[in-house]
Amino acid sequence: MGTAPLRVGIAGLGTVGAGVLKVLATQAELLARRCGRPLVVTAVSARDRGRDRGVDLSSVRWHDNAVDLAADDQVDVVVELIGGSDGIAARTVETALANAKHVVTANKALLAHHGTALAHQAEAQGLTLAFEAAVAGGIPVIKGLREGLAANQVREVHGILNGTCNYILTEMRTTGRDFAEVLAEAQAKGYAEADPSFDIDGVDAAHKLAILTSVAFGTRVDFANVHVEGIRHISALDIDYAGQLGYRIKLLGIARRTPNGIEQRVNPCMVPVGSLIAATDGVFNAVVADGDFADKVALVGRGAGAGPTASAVVADLVDIAIGRRTPTFGVPAGQLLPLTPAPLSARRGRYYVRLMVVDRPGVIADVAAALRDQSVSMESFLQRGRAPGEAVPVVLTTHDTEEVAMLRALTVIGGLGAVQEPPRMIRIEDY
């Protein structure tokens, strides 16, 4: 610390990297006042030197290889914006720490897979490994959990962690179109990648949830024990029925303490239409933490994009510049506890089920018998109209029940001759 400039090296000058350059240039005077010293970009690494990033980089050292930038003796802190859980991104971060440089990263995949080991490496040398930008873009959720709620035992953290999925589900609801059509439009608008599988299959949200779990509960990052479901199977029919029942469908990441361990899951949920989570639409993210003294705290904002993500990166640089240090995941890395996952057999909840059945006598009685045999109690039942001999949608919701019992019942129901496609099940959450 002191009045000498903080020398910043940026590895990766894509959308976020260019955004960081813009924030540092535009807010240079404000940041210098807040830090008591200037923040100066002294080195960058990117594939294309000729591309216009909107900032003059003629006096900045260029490295074709990000690992070389991580060893540059004219750099105090390395900002890693390459992405990916391994390869060049991992080597860049490891090299930076090995060369006594602080690291700021937006790389949720890297942290989900290697976060605990990297925290050990950083803290052993008195270095900062900061990652506000890795979860929920511009929303200060990491600082909110780690520092703002430091006096609390966190009971649960949940929220909308992927803007692509939230945009798709919002468009499906507001336009009545089906998943494939809305996904294609999201790709055309740049809200979804050419290969959208990490987003729509829930993996991106699961990476972020694994990080949030560690910060919230003081456990080692444990991506392997996140239960992950995506949104490919959500249909316009499901969204319509959810509305009729007073719910909206959202892809949620949920981490909660239970008497049987910590539950980590990413899956579509139905939430009451009047709730904050239900009202968070489009590309916005929302995170709710529940602490024993603070109670529920909600943060909503843009979960991606150049400006919001760059804002989070620069906030971490400010912490480093003024010497503000906290353990990477909220407690010293050596004190992070192994995560005890709550077993599937212990999960309970309420459920929405949609069936496509041939409209003939006795079918509903067979469905009810399968639920009764597993001690599953129905709360509501919907069948719109009649079409004798043809497939019609039948929707039911259940009272609180064991998830394993629900799955056993659906296995039986799916085997009934009158059921034309696999049953669709969505959890109902009172958020």
Among 22, 208, 250, 296, the active-site one is: 208
Residue ranges of domains in the chain = 6-138+309-332, 141-302, 347-428
CATH architecture of structural domain 141-302:
2-Layer Sandwich (3.30)
Q: How far is CA 394 from CA 173, 234, 353, in A?
A: 20, 15, 8
Q: What is the pLDDT of residue 191?
A: 84
Residues 6+ apart with CB under 8 A from 152: 291, 292, 293, 294
Query: Taking the CB of residue 175, how many other CB atoms lie within 10 A of it?
Result: 12
Spatial separation of the C-alpha atoms in residues 130 and 99, rounded to whole Å: 16
Q: Estimate to the nearest angstrom the gap between the alpha carbon of 335 and the chain centroid.
A: 25
Q: Give this prediction's pTM.
A: 0.95
Residues 6+ apart with CB under 8 A from 243: 173, 273
Q: How far is CA 143 from CA 12, 123, 133, 278, 322, in A?
A: 24, 18, 11, 24, 16
Please state the residue numbers annotated as binding site for NADP(+). 11-18
Average pLDDT, consecutive stretches of 10 residues, N- to C-terminus, the chain (431 residues)? 87 94 96 97 88 80 96 97 95 98 98 98 97 95 97 97 96 96 92 92 98 98 97 96 96 96 97 97 96 97 92 98 96 97 91 94 93 96 80 94 96 94 96 92
Residue with tokens 């959890």: 427
CATH architecture of structural domain 347-428:
2-Layer Sandwich (3.30)
Please state the residue numbers annotated as binding site for L-homoserine. 193
Q: How far is CA 99 from CA 70, 176, 320, 351, 374, in A?
A: 8, 54, 16, 52, 59
DSSP 225: G
Can you read off the two tokens belonging to residue 251?
């892809």
Q: What are phi and psi of 255, to 5 degrees?
A: -130, 125
Q: Estimate to the nearest angstrom the gap between the alpha carbon of 178 and the chain centroid.
A: 23
Amino acid making up residue 140: P
Q: What is the pLDDT of residue 2?
A: 58
The question of whether 101 is a catalytic residue gets the answer no
Please state the residue numbers annotated as binding site. 11-18, 108, 193
Spatial separation of the C-alpha atoms in residues 45 and 96, rounded to whole Å: 13
Query: What does the radius of gyration of the chain's CA atoms come to, in whole angstroms?
Result: 24
CATH architecture of structural domain 6-138+309-332:
3-Layer(aba) Sandwich (3.40)
Amino acid making up residue 112: A
Can you read off the two tokens belonging to residue 101?
């440089």
Q: What is the pLDDT of residue 388?
A: 79
Spatial separation of the C-alpha atoms in residues 183 and 196, rounded to whole Å: 9
Residue with tokens 């029940």: 401
